[in-house]
Amino acid sequence: MSILRAMEKYNHENLVFGQDRESGLKAIIAIHDTTLGPALGGTRMWAYTSEEEAVWDVLRLARAMTYKAAVAGLDLGGGKAVIISDPGKAKSEELLRAYGRFVDTLKGKYITAADVGICQQDIDIISQETSCAVGRNPSQGGSGDPSPYTALGVFHGMKAIAKIVFGSERLAGKRVAVQGVGQVGYHLCSLLAEEGAELAITDLNRTLVEKAVRAYHAAAVLPEDIFAVQCDIFAPCALGAVINDRTVPELNCRVIAGGANNVLAEEYHGEELLKRGIYYVPDYVLNAGGLINVAEELYGYNRQRVIEKVARIYDTVTEVFQISKREGIPPSQAADRLAEKRLARRKSWWTGQGVSKVG
Ligand code: NAD
């Protein structure tokens, strides 16, 4: 499919290329939809093997951000950017500054943040060239590490699904298997342990496993055994695509609810889980806490407000499962409907005001 045809199919507004010969910058910014507000999404720095691969990735990621922001109730659109280079080799202050100037040319239509290959220190440099960068150092009014808020959102969402499936939102005594005890997974374990949940954990990193076992009396299992652990809730907090043809038959849980992005390898795995009576809470609904946290920087960061907004993930999860039940569709589709409903409502409001939005 041609690029413009793909943009038309998924209704992307813009795809902007930027380069700077001196610093070696080669970047692409995709803006999917700004109906709800300026497009916010991280910048990924990655050694893509081709420009084509980078283009498809940025288009896909930008669209996902539209849905995530819409479902989270944020007045933000969806966008994403990629810098085509190996972050370990090519990152320099000149390149990041050139990138900041590139972002600035979009005059606020796109706001950037950290993603794979771009950290908070990089954002601090980028933000010297543009005010359209969030996720800065807390000492400069930034929102800092988003992972505690991502974990908090997952925790609230788990409570909502527990109420639906087990009849009570209390997680005390529930067995939760956590895959990956990195930034998000570790914070999630802390919240679950405090509530009295029983934990089974795994990670490729032994030091992290030992730390979680010591801190939360968690039972450690081997990475390949985590799917088959008998538990109430399986919480994927490592990589994407972990629910796939191989792992679905192994699952021994009633609920899947975790912080990882793109948990389902393919959309049909959502239907597969539904058939097996496993409740899958859509990842982008659950893990929006980090986005909510970073977005607060735009209004003057207020931690208390972040905590309140993140707590609303409970209601969103409840609504997603109401739609899923009412319409007989997998929760992943129900979440998309919820996002699309919010976008349509805002679009009809624009139309009612006699304003047509130009992308
Ligand atoms: P992280 O790198 O700190 O933690 C991931 C952990 O998973 C690592 O410790 C890694 O060793 C482990 N891991 C990787 N593959 C594994 C495997 N096969 N089995 C067991 N463990 C494995 O990353 P993070 O920031 O905690 O993010 C975790 C997930 O949540 C990612 O998918 C990320 O995209 C998503 N996410 C994170 C945030 C955030 O605020 N950090 C926000 C939204 C979504």
Q: Is residue 354 domain-resident?
A: no
Q: How far is the CA of 340 from the centre of ligand 1 (A)?
A: 28
- Give pLDDT, residue 73: 95
| pTM given for the model | 0.93
Q: Which domain covers residue 18, as residue numbers?
A: 3-62+77-133
Which residues touch 2 (CB under 8 Å, ≥6 apart)?
none
Cβ–ligand 1 contact at 69 (below 6 Å): no
Q: Are residues 103 and 161 in the same domain?
A: no
Q: Is residue 72 domain-resident?
A: no
CATH number at residue 98: 3.40.50.10860
- Give pLDDT, residue 1: 82
- Give pLDDT, residue 347: 87
- Give pLDDT, residue 140: 85
Query: How far, in Å, CA of 239 to CA of 236, rounded?
Result: 8
List the structure tokens of 126.
């980028």
Query: 19-57 burial string, b = 16+ CB within 10 Å, else e?
Result: ebeebbbbbbbbbbbbbbbbbbbbbbbbebeeeeebbbb
Helical (H) or strand (E) element with 216? helix 206-216
Helical (H) or strand (E) element with 55? helix 51-71
- Give pLDDT, residue 356: 62
Atom number in ligand 1 closest to CA 208: 9
Cβ–ligand 1 contact at 201 (below 6 Å): no
List the structure tokens of 229.
């652990």
DSSP-assigned states of every residue in 168-185: ----TT-EEEEE--SHHH
Domains identified in the chain, total number: 2
Are 29 and 81 in contact, with CB atoms under 8 Å apart?
yes
CATH number at residue 305: 3.40.50.720
Dihedral over alpha carbons 14, 285, 72, 96 (to 10 degrees) = -50
| 302: number of Cβ within 10 Å | 13
Q: Are residues 256 and 279 in the same domain?
A: yes
Q: Are residues 259 and 302 in the same domain?
A: yes
Q: How far is the CA of 258 from the centre of ligand 1 (A)?
A: 10
* Average pLDDT per block of 10 residues along the chain, 359 residues long: 94 98 98 98 96 95 96 97 96 98 98 94 97 94 93 98 98 98 96 98 97 97 98 96 97 97 92 94 97 95 96 98 94 95 89 65
Residue matched to tokens 């700077």: 20
Q: Is residue 245 domain-resident?
A: yes
Are 237 and 180 in contact, with CB atoms under 8 Å apart?
yes
Q: Is residue 157 domain-resident?
A: yes
Q: Are residues 129 and 151 in the same domain?
A: no
- Give pLDDT, residue 260: 94
Query: 89-118 burial string, b = 16+ CB within 10 Å, else e?
Result: ebbeeebbbbbbebbbebeebbbbbbbebb
List the structure tokens of 146.
């988003």
- DSSP β-bridge partners for residue 40: 78, 111
Atom number in ligand 1 closest to CA 183: 26
- Give pLDDT, residue 353: 75
Atom number in ligand 1 closest to CA 290: 40
Give the active site residues: 80
Q: Are residues 103 and 198 in the same domain?
A: no
Residue of 57, 204, 296 to test ligand 1 pocket, by largest number of atoms within 8 Å of CB: 204
Q: Are residues 122 and 154 in the same domain?
A: no
Q: Are residues 198 and 127 in the same domain?
A: no
- Give pLDDT, residue 258: 97
Residue of 201, 239, 292 to test ligand 1 pocket, by largest number of atoms within 8 Å of CB: 239
Are 189 and 238 in contact, with CB atoms under 8 Å apart?
no
- DSSP β-bridge partners for residue 219: 200
Q: How far is the CA of 269 from the centre of ligand 1 (A)?
A: 21
Q: Is residue 177 domain-resident?
A: yes
Cβ–ligand 1 contact at 185 (below 6 Å): yes
Helical (H) or strand (E) element with 323? helix 313-327
